[in-house]
Amino acid sequence: EAGVAQSPRYKIIEKRQSVAFWCNPISGHATLYWYQQILGQGPKLLIQFQNNGVVDDSQLPKDRFSAERLKGVDSTLKIQPAKLEDSAVYLCASSLVLASEQFFGPGTRLTVL
Amino acid sequence: GQQVMQIPQYQHVQEGEDFTTYCNSSTTLSNIQWYKQRPGGHPVFLIQLVKSGEVKKQKRLTFQFGEAKKNSSLHITATQTTDVGTYFCGYNKLIFGAGTRLAVHP
């Protein structure tokens, strides 16, 4: 079974630029999550989708971050414009149903200069 | 809001020693999950606990969920170098604790 795919794996941008990350969850997984993990900290949930609907986006900085999951399969997370403090690993995870085991992708390491 | 404290932040052990990490909440948790993240890797699911007082074992790992469902622990017996990593508890929907980083010296 293929795991959660994410791209790119690494991205370096300058502040005020835009960036987008892509995630393809495990086939059949209804729930998709985006996390931000700053070095030395636990993952912080940014947004959670159930199929193509948003379940929770309370911690998403909506002035600069946006995410979508068209057709309830793959998802994109965008940052526009980026700030220095956005430097982190962005993890995508999926689960079969809400509150079940989450499978994480390899993450995208973002560096904002 | 709900807060979970994970202790200790760091633990250095000699190979063969035991290790325990704790996840403590000020409020009742509906469930708790434990994940392991190797250096440079992504979190990998270990276990989910749902019932009050639940105890589950996976080889050298023992997971417990408190009777009041406010705390949980992960205990590793006779650590090995392959146990190196950061152990996170995650609860409810999922909110992660800060993690316990385990270093094992051979």
End-to-end CA, chain A: 37
In sign, the C-alpha dihedral spanning A96, A102, A105, A111 is positive
Check residue B3 and give its pLDDT.
73
pLDDT tens profile B53-71: 999 999 999 999 999 999 9
- The whole-number mean pLDDT for each consecutive block of 10 residues of chain A, a chain of 113 residues, reads 92 98 96 95 94 93 96 95 98 90 96 98
> Which of chain A's residues have a Cβ under 8 Å away from the Cβ of B43?
43, 91, 93, 102, 104
Instruction: Give dist(CA B63, CA B20) in Å, integer.
Output: 10
Chain A with chain B: Cβ pairs closer than 8 A: 46
Check residue A2 and give its pLDDT.
83
| A15 inside 8 A of chain B by CB | no
Interface contact A104-B42, CB threshold 8 A: yes
Check residue A1 and give its pLDDT.
62
Interface contact A48-B93, CB threshold 8 A: yes
pLDDT, chain A, mean: 95
Interface contact A102-B94, CB threshold 8 A: yes
Q: Looking at this protein, which amino acid is placed at residue A69?
A: R
Check residue B91 and give its pLDDT.
85
- 3-state DSSP helix/strand/coil % of chain A, to nearest 5: 5, 50, 45
What are A66's two structure tokens?
């946006």
